[in-house]
Amino acid sequence: MTDEQRAEGAASDDEPVGRVLTRREILAFLGATGVLWLARCSGPAPGSDVAAATPSGTVGTGERIASGCVARPQMTAGPYFVDGALERSDIRPDPSTGEVSAGTPLDLAFRVSRIEESACVPLAGAIVDIWQCDALGVYSDVADPSFDTRGRKFLRGWQATDAEGLARFTTVYPGWYQGRAVHIHFKVRSAPDADPGFEFTSQLFFDDALTDRVHAGEPYRERGPRNRRNEEDGFFRRGGGELVLAVEPSGSGYAGTFEVGLQGV
């Protein structure tokens, strides 16, 4: 793919979701509708501001809530989300061919909680979708200027959270493509029959130094050096620091858990 073609795709991937609400607008939403809040359940962080999303996906900054929860900004799904992906934990295989995506293994878990007053309580039954590019920057099940992978479903999948609020995935460390820092897309949403429903979409980022080490190996180095680091990525500059996945070595790869809390569900 040429840089110009990648830039075209990256431009649509970098479109903002909704707009920023004023404090008055947020309070109006709180009084009139059910509002979804996304936060990270972690160590004490008194007085943290929290990102809010209405059911239609508008983004804002809310009142201070439960200590121990840190803001998580919402981000676009980009052009490559495909609804109806497979319910599975290991998202590396392509069901149509049996081929397994090559790359450094990554065990990724999401711990989803409901914020009740000042506590984070595990939320069972939430649907967590993830999708990402492979080591060479290619997404499955889409038509792109340089590839057509429609009908293939590698590196896509969803899991429902268990009684502890956990959804676990086995994947590979993502590669890169023109115009974007290295990332994984995720979506947390209610079951299809839930009333009212909720949905929150964002992206995970990775430490640049770690990415340099991983991408120096095969098959990543076939793609060549990436041209966009975190601080050069338009999304990362709009709150990506709160979306960096902390990982630890695990076997021949890495493992990390991303914790989020939802209020208003």
* Structure-block tokens of residue 68: 């121990």
Per-residue pLDDT at 74 = 85
Cα gap 113→127, rounded to integer Å: 12
Q: Which region holds residue 118: left if phi is over 0, alpha if psi is between -120 and 50, else beta?
A: alpha
* Full domain range(s) for residue 137: 75-263
Per-residue pLDDT at 219 = 98
* Assigned domain for 181 exists: yes
Mean pLDDT of all residues in 235-253? 95
Lowest mean pLDDT: which of 21-35, 131-145, 229-243?
21-35
Per-residue pLDDT at 145 = 87
Cα gap 87→113, rounded to integer Å: 21
Rg, Å, the chain Cα set: 18
Per-residue pLDDT at 206 = 98
Q: What is the pLDDT of residues 66-76, one digit of tens each?
A: 333 444 678 88
Q: What is the pLDDT of residues 186-219, one digit of tens each?
A: 999 998 888 778 898 999 999 999 999 999 999 9
Cα gap 102→242, rounded to integer Å: 28
Per-residue pLDDT at 27 = 33
Going by C-alpha positions, the residue among 50, 16, 17 that lies closest to residue 118 is: 50
User: Where residue 2 falls among pLDDT bands split at 50, 70, 90?
Assistant: very low
Count the domains in the chain: 1
Residue 149 Cα distances to 3, 69, 82, angstroms: 19, 39, 12
User: Where residue 13 falls among pLDDT bands split at 50, 70, 90?
Assistant: low
* Assigned domain for 61 exists: no
Per-residue pLDDT at 5 = 42
Q: What is the pLDDT of residues 23-66, one digit of tens each?
A: 333 333 333 333 344 544 443 333 333 333 334 332 222 222 33
Report yes or no on whether pTM surpasses 0.75.
yes
CATH number, domain of 110, equals 2.60.130.10
Cα gap 159→146, rounded to integer Å: 30
Give CA angle at 84 (81, 88), nearest 5°.
Answer: 100
* Assigned domain for 46 exists: no
* Structure-block tokens of residue 29: 């939403």
* Assigned domain for 127 exists: yes
Mean pLDDT of all residues in the chain? 78
Q: What percent of the chain has pLDDT over 90?
A: 56
* Structure-block tokens of residue 163: 């009684």
Cα gap 230→29, rounded to integer Å: 33
Q: What is the pLDDT of residues 94-135, one digit of tens each?
A: 999 999 999 999 999 999 988 877 778 899 999 999 999 999
Residue-wise over 26-62: b if at least 16 C-beta within 10 A, else e?
A: beebeeeeebbbbbbbeeeeeebebbbbbbeebbbeb
Burial grade of 227 (CB within 10 A; 0-12, 13-18, 19 or more) = middle
* Assigned domain for 4 exists: no
* Assigned domain for 120 exists: yes
Going by C-alpha positions, the residue among 133, 140, 108, 105 that lies closest to residue 217 is: 105
Q: Are 177 and 4 in contact, with CB atoms under 8 Å apart?
A: no
* Assigned domain for 11 exists: no
* Assigned domain for 93 exists: yes
Where is pLDDT greater, at 66 or 174?
174
